[in-house]
Amino acid sequence: MDARYACQSTAHQIARRGFLSLLGTGAASLAAGPSLLAGLQQQRRRMLVIFLSGGVSQLESWDPKPRTDTGGPFSAIPTAVPGMHISELLPKTAQHMNRLSLIRGINTNNGDHGKGKYQMTYGRNQMPGVENPHLGAVCARSLERSDNPLPGHIHIPGGGRGNNAAYLGPRYASTGVNGKPPANSQRLGNLTIEIDERRNAFRRRANERFLSQRRTAETDAYTQSFEQAQGLMEKRDAFDISQESAKDHARYGSHDFGQHCLTARRMLEHDVPYVQVSHTNYDTHNENFSFHLEQLAEFDAPFSCLLTDLSDRGMLESTLVVVMSEFGRTPRINARYGRDHWGKAWSICLGGAGIQPGAVIGATNTNGTEVVDREVDHGHLFHTYLSALGLDSSSSFNIGGREQPLADPAYGPIDELLI
Amino acid sequence: MDFRQTHIEKTHKHTRPLISCRFGPQPDCVFFAAEDFQLWRWNISNNEKTAFNTDAWVRGFCFSRDGQRVITGGYDGRLIIWPATATAPQPIHVIDKAHEGWIRGVAISPDGSTLATVGNDHMVRLWNAADGTQIAELKGHVNDEKAIAHRSHVYNVAFHPDGKALVTGDLMGQLIEWRLADRQPVRAWTADSLSKYDKGFRAQIGGFRTLQFNSDGSRLFASGITAVTNAFAGIGNPSVVEFARQDNKQLVEYLSQPKLQGVAWGVALHPDDLIIGAHGGSNGNLMFWKAGEATAAHQFRLPQNGRDLDLHPDGLQLAVACSDGKLQICRMDKKTS
């Protein structure tokens, strides 16, 4: 049924189409077609990104080069996959490598924090005047749950809303979460349930009356915002990790990253399509080895807990887990025992939904200074994530009649890594 | 000795960056560890070099009192006792899991009978220097949150000259004095200026690059980095802090002038009431302070970052391990033709 917008202008008709495409119909506007959509909804896939801010060293994590001029003081340890070794700084994660895979041939050719973060979370190079949606916005939109009022794109830690959904619209922008229910999401104490319901019923009646005569794209947005907020209020406990057991709090650790991972588990259990947890900081120009000892020790245990719990709950097969950074760190050890920015030969770790477990894709040379096999960059990675989530990464969003590719059409997924 | 005339007298270029150095017990020998996973003995006179295959980076090592043995503590957690003078050195004793993770500091007791090691497992351990058997583990009362114990990486260790006590220092800036008679912690205090939690980077920066008593044991000197504004870029200033043994009171904080950026990686105490520091960070320097005077009396620019320092018994020569793989032998006197 056509909306009866007040001015009946052609411009508004187009705007409405765009608006509905952005906010209302979710995945239904994917060019991929309804059969795929039905399958997607059935699979209920979701994505967890652990973003190691500042640029984790690949040599102290996923691609160690022990006893070389660039390898630093640490050893490599065996993992649950015969022949696959990772840094000794990740002993707990090593036991999960039969569930995970490594991509060791990444060359993003960039050493700038902002550009690197954009590359890895938007799947494209940042271009002046061009806005692309964040990976989380693409997931939130493409994997939208019509039966779930929670935001589909969560960043932990954080507060408020991000401005990172571009043409997909603010509905898919990130919502920052800190392990507590969002501010002002509780019914006021002096309002009874009955009074609150009557208030909302009155609002709806007034709204419907207004819409019958003066419906605009803006009023639709307001209405949708109200309904989303009300749904969120009903599920505000989903954000509250104080409801998790003391045992789980102890398992994950009392430090920030442990609590953030516990929050992430709770969000994924509530079927949020995209959850990103940031762990800071790995920008170790000075004392790289001592700081990686500190930071990766903090990362290893909660990440391991999270993998265990997702697996035990049967969620790992439907959850794509990716541990990424904006870039890696230089093989060369500088005069301050540091490593600097390096995008020419580095690694990520991923597993879960759609990903072959226990694989190593690509390789660097003996001392890690260049990629020597299966070189890929952020474009390939973005396609790979979407493909692993069951999406056709070569398809497009239809935004107001305009095709917007989900991922950079110049690239494709790493097919041999996909199930 | 004229520290204001300090100059580089001799340079040895190694193939890889250096980590630590000590003048050896034998004349004309300097030992240094490098990023090539070896400890090296270099003879200054004939330029001969001998490898000790530690198979690990070595920051802490010391010599037996008779000079016949060198003891290394590796980043692989192994404590190894070597023949110091052998032409093809092989380990005499290897303690494989002396610590879980890095050994950061090694010291020998004044009577030469006991070794002390500290590491990333928060532990302090004592060993029989003769055969490497473990004597004790000094862990304090870790089950009581308020009790004295290390709860972060332990960076360094020093025996008191009277042989009755030991001081250890950790990443959080905590110093603990241990009584050796019953191996109990006696007291703990904090070098506040040498440790900081960087909220921006969410990491602790600190730790004692050196711990050293003066000859009569009345003063303890600790070095590291202070006034950190950016931990991950190493933006801070090299610092040496002097404590009174009697009451742990901080007496002086020795700082560079003009201000340098980086860490005081090594300290030597000269018998002429001179404190010497080796700096590495934005570049490398030797810093000289007169005892009790907080401002450097002299600074000598090194070609590269200094990472460790030792004073020769002659009171004139300094060995400096540098990040460019060079071992610099400096002389604190005017150049001779």
Closest to A405 in 3D by CA, of A382, A389, A388: A382
Predicted confidence (pLDDT) at residue B146 exceeds the cutoff of 80: no
Tokens of A275: 């959850």
Written as one string, the DSSP assignment of A142-175 is HT--TT--S-SEEEES--SB-S--GGG-GGGS-E
Lowest pLDDT segment from A12-26, A87-101, A226-240, A249-263: A12-26
pLDDT at A98: 98
pLDDT class of A232 with cuts at 50, 70, 90? confident
Distance from CA of A278 to the nearest CA of B (A): 12
CA distance B302 to chain A (A): 13
Show the tokens assigned to A48.
Answer: 């967890």
Comparing B325 with A234, the larger pLDDT belongs to: B325
Q: Which chain A residue is nearest to residue B74, measuring alpha carbons?
A: A73
Q: Which fold has domain B54-190?
A: Methylamine Dehydrogenase; Chain H (2.130.10)
Q: Which residues of B touch A287 (CB under 8 A)?
A: 205, 231-232, 234
Which of A75, A290, A293 faces B76 most closely, judged by CB atoms? A75
- The angle at the Cα of B107, spanning B104 to B55, to the nearest 5 degrees, equals 45
Task: Please compute the mean of the pLDDT values over residues B24-30 and round it to a whole number.
Answer: 93
Distance in Å, alpha carbon of A284 to nearest chain B alpha carbon = 5
Tokens 């409801």 locate to A243
Instruction: Report the DSSP pairing between strands B274-281 and B262-270.
Output: antiparallel
> Could you tell me the sign of the dihedral formed by the alpha carbons of A227, A231, A234, A236, in that order?
negative
As a whole number, mean pLDDT of residues B257-278 equals 97
- Other Cβ atoms less than 10 A from the Cβ of B330: the count is 24
Query: Does A404 fall in a domain?
Result: yes
Percentage of chain A beyond pLDDT 90 is: 72
Average pLDDT over residues B197-224: 94
Given pLDDT bands bounded at 50, 70 and 90, which one contains residue B330? very high
In a mutational test of the A interface, the residue from B75, B122, B202 whose CB has the highest number of chain A CBs within 10 Å is B202
Round to whole Å and give the CA distance between B38 and B56: 7
Burial A21-37 (b: 16+ CB within 10 A, else e): bbbeebbebbebeeebb
Domain extent at residue A412: 10-183+237-417
Tokens 């991929």, residue located: A32
Q: Cβ contact (<8 Å) for A283 and B232?
A: yes
Please give the average per-residue pLDDT across A285-314, as a whole number: 97
pLDDT for residue A233: 83
User: Residues A244, A248, A250, A253: what is their CA dihedral angle, to the nearest 10 degrees?
Assistant: -90
Q: What is the ipTM of this complex?
A: 0.96
Interface test with B, best of A286, A294, A339 (most B CBs within 10 A): A286
How far is residue B263's CA from residue B244's CA, in Å, rounded to a whole number?
Answer: 22
Domain assignment present for A211: no
Q: How far is the C-alpha of B154 from the C-alpha of A163, rounded, in Å?
A: 45
Residue contact A335–B56, C-beta within 8 A: no
Burial pattern B80-112, b for ≥16 Cβ within 10 A else e, equals bbbebbeeebebbbebeebbebbbbbbbbbbee
Q: For residue A32, is pLDDT > 50?
A: no
Provide mean pLDDT across the span B36-62.
97
Q: Which CA distances in Å does A247 have to A250, A252, A268, A387?
A: 5, 9, 19, 36
Find the radius of gyration of the CA atoms of chain A: 23
Residue B182 pLDDT more than 80? yes
Spatial CB neighbours of A11, under 8 Å, sequence gap ≥ 6: none
CB A12 within 8 A of CB A217: yes
Query: B87-108 pLDDT, tens per residue?
Result: 999 999 999 999 999 999 999 9
Q: How far apart are CA B93 and CA B71, in angstroms?
A: 9
> Between chains, do B305 and A75 touch, taking CB under 8 Å as contact?
no
Residue A11 vs residue B133, higher pLDDT: B133
Strands B298-302 and B284-290, how do they pair?
antiparallel
What pLDDT shows up at residue B228?
96
Segment B244-273 shows an average pLDDT of: 97
Q: How many CB atoms lie within 10 A of CB B232?
A: 22
Of residues A67, A290, A335, nearest to B280 (C-beta): A335
Report residue A203 as tokens.
């609002």
What are the residues facing B116 on neighbouring strands? B107, B126
Residue A276 in any domain: the answer is: yes
Q: What is the pLDDT of residue B142?
A: 65
How confident is the prediction for chain B on average, in pLDDT? 96
Q: What average pLDDT does chain A have? A: 89
Looking at residue B300, its pLDDT comes to: 98
The total domain count for chain A is 1
Tokens 């990103």, residue?
A: A276
Stretch (H or E) spanning A294: helix A288-312
Residue A18 has pLDDT above 50, yes or no: no
What's the CATH number where A15 sits?
A: 3.40.720
pLDDT the model gives residue A42? 45
CB B154 within 8 A of CB B100: no
Predicted confidence band of residue A221 (pLDDT cuts 50, 70, 90): low
Distance CA A250, CA A139 (A): 31
Considering only CA atoms, give the Rg of chain B: 19
Rounded CA separation B167/B188 (Å): 9
pLDDT for residue A305 is more than 90:
yes
Query: Residues B252, B241: contact at Cβ < 8 Å?
Result: yes
pLDDT the model gives residue A227: 77
Asked if B232 and A285 come within 8 Å (Cβ–Cβ), the reply is: yes
- Identify whether the C-beta of residue B173 lies closer than 8 Å to the C-beta of residue B225: no
Q: Are residues A88 and A59 in contact, defined by beta-carbon separation less than 8 angstroms?
A: no
Q: Is residue A4 part of a domain?
A: no
Is residue B165 a contact partner of residue B112, using CB atoms and an 8 Å limit?
no
* Measured distance CA(A399)–CA(A397) in Å, rounded: 6
Which pLDDT band holds residue B178 (cuts at 50, 70, 90)?
A: very high
What is the distance in angstroms between the CA of the first residue and the CA of the last residue of chain B? 17
A301 is a domain residue? yes
